[in-house]
Amino acid sequence: SLFFGGGTPSLMPPETAAAVIEEADRLWGFSSDAEITLEANPTSIEAGRFAGYAAGGVNRVSMGAQALNDADLKRLGRMHTAAEARAAFDIARAAFARVSFDLIYARQDQTPEAWEAELAEALRMAIDHLSLYQLTVEPGTRFGELHDIGKLRGLPDDDRAADMYAITQSLCEAAGMPAYEISNHARPGAESRHNLVYWRGGDYAGVGAGAHGRVTAGGVRLATETPRAPAA
């Protein structure tokens, strides 16, 4: 498998992705059915490149939809609208056989009932895979800063967040997309091979600024990390 991650690889031209795929194939060699995934934001600009990525060798896309309503997208700091997310999904479905998208739940002022309705819509849209993340507030992030000064109001308490987790498992199971790890759900056989490498403790090479890898050499497991470029 090959995974273009980091949130915004779809900002690069399709020709660049194709060149990276070609070079990776030259260096390591891909099987004929290799999974090649690209993360993308569902803006109209990035979705407009989907056909080019498919022509260059990408056969799976993972979109950061995050929410299916505009108010919550604005709160999450996303640059796209819900309409753009739905339109980008339709474009992706036409370009790729395998499409996944992300949603975040336990958002500000979100009720279990609202999440159930939103997830039901997502499952009607889904092809074979969904990534469903519970919102967490981490130190050193913008949300962390807002939380510390009391400006991140309306987050659900632990019990309500647990209710949303239970709803997630129940609806996805019923739709034939059970969890295969903490946050990822897929139809049988459609699990992300790249994700499974991580969860099964396999080897993977990280390439690029801030990339992390774990490879076995001479019977010894080695961790590799590429430093990030210093901030300007």
pLDDT surpasses 50 at 103: yes
Q: Tokens representing 145?
A: 């800063």
Structural contact between residues 120 and 82, judged by C-beta atoms closer than 8 angstroms: no
**Residue 63 backbone phi and psi in degrees, to 5:** -105, 140
Determine the pLDDT at residue 7. 67
Whether 161 shows a pLDDT value over 80: the answer reads yes
| pLDDT bucket at 210, cuts 50 / 70 / 90 | confident
* Residue (of 182, 74, 73, 175) closest to 134 by Cα position: 182
The mean pLDDT of 147-166, rounded to a whole number, is: 88
The pTM (predicted TM-score) of the whole model is 0.88
Residue 231 confidence (pLDDT): 46
In one-letter notation, the amino acid at residue 94 is: A
pLDDT of the residue at 13: 94
- Reported as a single tens digit per residue, the pLDDT across 17-43 is 999 999 999 999 999 999 999 999 998
pLDDT digit string, tens, across residues 106-154: 999 999 999 999 999 999 999 999 999 998 888 887 777 877 787 778 8
7: left (phi over 0), alpha (psi -120 to 50) or beta: left
Residue 232 in this model has a pLDDT that exceeds 50 = no
User: According to the model, what pLDDT value does residue 229 have?
Assistant: 54
